[in-house]
Chains A and B, each alone.
Chain A
């Protein structure tokens, strides 16, 4: 936090009267503006972070107030030898690749389609963005309603067309596919929105030149459009990836990890460990391993911002 007090550079004019006063007070104008927010943020982030680290090295008792008992590396050695947690990580990776992969593919496709039309583009975009603003818990519950084997709309369609006749959230593969598709339904619009902004900012001259050169749509897409928006695509991918690790509401409210652990991704496992079995120490170790992944992603994101000259 001390770094905030560093001197500021020349944005002010020659008659910048406050300068000497600033030096006397020790904290620059900018520093004073940042101080309240960063103090609150420090309380909200550093303190809980130190606490979760402490928890991960403890056996935590909850009866009659919280008690931490030093457990050395017990939780950590357990973490790296726990097959169930390993399976959850694997499931998370599959879930992540399936959801984010499909969202990128569909989002880019839909953005390219929207980019083709002029009339009604904004109205249509607004309609397509709607799922993004929904509470994920409602998306999950609505998904449950739609896939109910006796009266669900989508279950009925699948049954009538003969595609799938079983209990959707009851089958291991079907349940996994269902929660994946619910996530894809909710978050594809985000990718569409980001990619469309990228497409709109492409220099028109380049596209026109290639059009005159006689390149057809697909070769233009591959050799000109996609390279032009590659930076935007990476941002979309990173943003979505960081959020994909954050949220678990859809699974909690549909299958809650079942059937037979088929959808027990790592956040669901953490939640169960912490708040059903109240093994807070072990849950803390799992949580820190998740935090490590998101910090790596945040790091990649920062580097991407810098490369795009957007680090501000």
Chain B
């Protein structure tokens, strides 16, 4: 379609519309990052100020006063550990599922996908009662378990999609050469789906790092994560927007970076294998 005869309309219209879309997308993000470097006095200026002398005061306050390190640690552990477990188990089960045919496979697949898609509000409820009874409330372990409820089915499903795209002929050749099934999986199949593994890991990490609903219900003073720290800066009387935009930047920046690293495979991951990219 690239040589459509739209003529002038197309030559001007497409860039103009794309510029508008880019502005619409980027302005809030830029504004957040800018605001995190704005002196407090300029933050609430009316009209909003674009020119200002950048300052690190908000990041300083966060780092010194608010025990931000604790929140970062909790976020990294909760999101990181649940990601590692989900991806490890997901690789094994995804391969097993992709290479097997059994009666009821459809039902297993459906069970996995509906677990992934269960509304968070509906999952929080029974988990809350179960966690209360098992003393998992307020612990990082509880959050790891909670994140596994969506990361594990997601990882199994996606790894299954990536492995299923792999022709089994290579593994069969290895078996003929005397490799065991495990060796064929570990040395042949797994290395070939490394981009898939990376994508799965990134998406698991993003989902759990960004979680608010589980963390706000289950975490206690010792296990609160960064999104909770951000929401707690909002009080009835006043909101410190300098700190809030700074913490927002800290929460958002790493996920955008890791997310864009695996951009080529994102479509497959985010559509649960229903659409493949490039």
Contact = CB atoms under 8 A, between A and B. Distances in A.
Interface in B24-57: 24-29, 31-32, 35, 43-48
Interface in A240-286: 242, 245-249, 252-253, 266-267, 270-271, 274-275, 280, 283-284
A301 B175 contact: no
A137 B145 contact: no
B65 interface: no
A69 interface: no
B263 A280 contact: no
Interface stretch (B66-74, B192-200, B266-274): B266-274
A235 B260 contact: no
A216 B5 contact: yes
Contact of A33 (B95, B120, B217, B255): B95
A80 to B, nearest CB: 17
21 contacts: A4-B108, A30-B100, A33-B185, A37-B89, A41-B115, A65-B133, A129-B263, A134-B255, A135-B211, A142-B248, A153-B27, A200-B277, A225-B1, A235-B275, A248-B120, A248-B121, A267-B120, A270-B122, A271-B213, A288-B122, A290-B119
A156 interface: yes
A44 B96 contact: no
Contacts of A150: 44, 46
A227 B266 CA distance: 24
A20 interface: no
Given A29-B181, A211-B3, A283-B125, A134 B252 contact: yes
B132 interface: yes
Which 7 residue pairs spanning A and B have beta carbons closest together?
A: A6-B102, A33-B96, A287-B122, A37-B93, A312-B164, A30-B100, A3-B104
Interface in B118-165: 118-130, 132-133, 145, 148-149, 152-153, 156, 160-161, 164
Contacts of A288: 122
A5 B105 CA distance: 11
A298 interface: yes
B255 to A, nearest CB: 4
A48 interface: yes
B121 A267 contact: yes
Given A6-B103, A128-B21, 9 more contacts: A11-B168, A29-B96, A40-B148, A44-B148, A142-B32, A151-B48, A194-B271, A280-B129, A287-B122
Given A9-B101, A130-B29, A52 B231 contact: no
Contacts of B161: 310, 312
Contacts of B182: 29
A218 B114 CA distance: 38
Contact of A291 (B6, B24, B119, B267): B119
Contacts, number: 356
Interface in A143-169: 143-146, 150-153, 156, 160
B125 to A, nearest CB: 5
B212 A135 contact: yes
Q: Give the interface size bracket for A toward B.
A: 35 or more
B112 interface: yes
A102 interface: no
B112 A41 contact: yes
A226 interface: no
Given A150-B46, A280-B129, A141 B21 contact: no
A151 B125 contact: no
A142 B217 CA distance: 22
Interface size class of B (residues with CB under 8 A): 35 or more
A197 B98 CA distance: 24
Interface of A: 3-9, 11-16, 18, 28-34, 36-38, 40-41, 44-45, 47-49, 51-52, 55, 60, 65-66, 110, 113-118, 122, 124-138, 141-146, 150-153, 156, 160, 185, 189-190, 193-194, 197-198, 200-201, 207, 211, 216-217, 220, 225, 232, 235-236, 239, 242, 245-249, 252-253, 266-267, 270-271, 274-275, 280, 283-284, 287-288, 290-291, 293-295, 297-299, 301-302, 304-305, 308, 310-312
> Chain B: interface secondary structure?
helix
B10 interface: yes
A38 B93 contact: yes
Contact of A271 (B102, B103, B121, B129): B121
Nearest to B22: A127
Contact of B267 (A12, A137, A197, A271): A197
Contacts of B15: 117
A30 B28 CA distance: 48
B63 interface: no
Contacts of A138: 32, 227, 230, 248, 251-252
B24 A284 contact: no
Contacts of A252: 212-213, 216
Contact of A36 (B3, B92, B180, B259): B92
B231 A253 contact: yes
Interface in B226-269: 226-227, 230-231, 234, 239, 241, 244-245, 248, 251-252, 255-256, 259-260, 263, 266-267
Contacts of A60: 129
Given A131-B29, A151-B43, A294-B117, A137 B100 contact: no
Nearest to B228: A137
Contacts of B123: 48
B114 A34 contact: no
B125 A30 contact: no
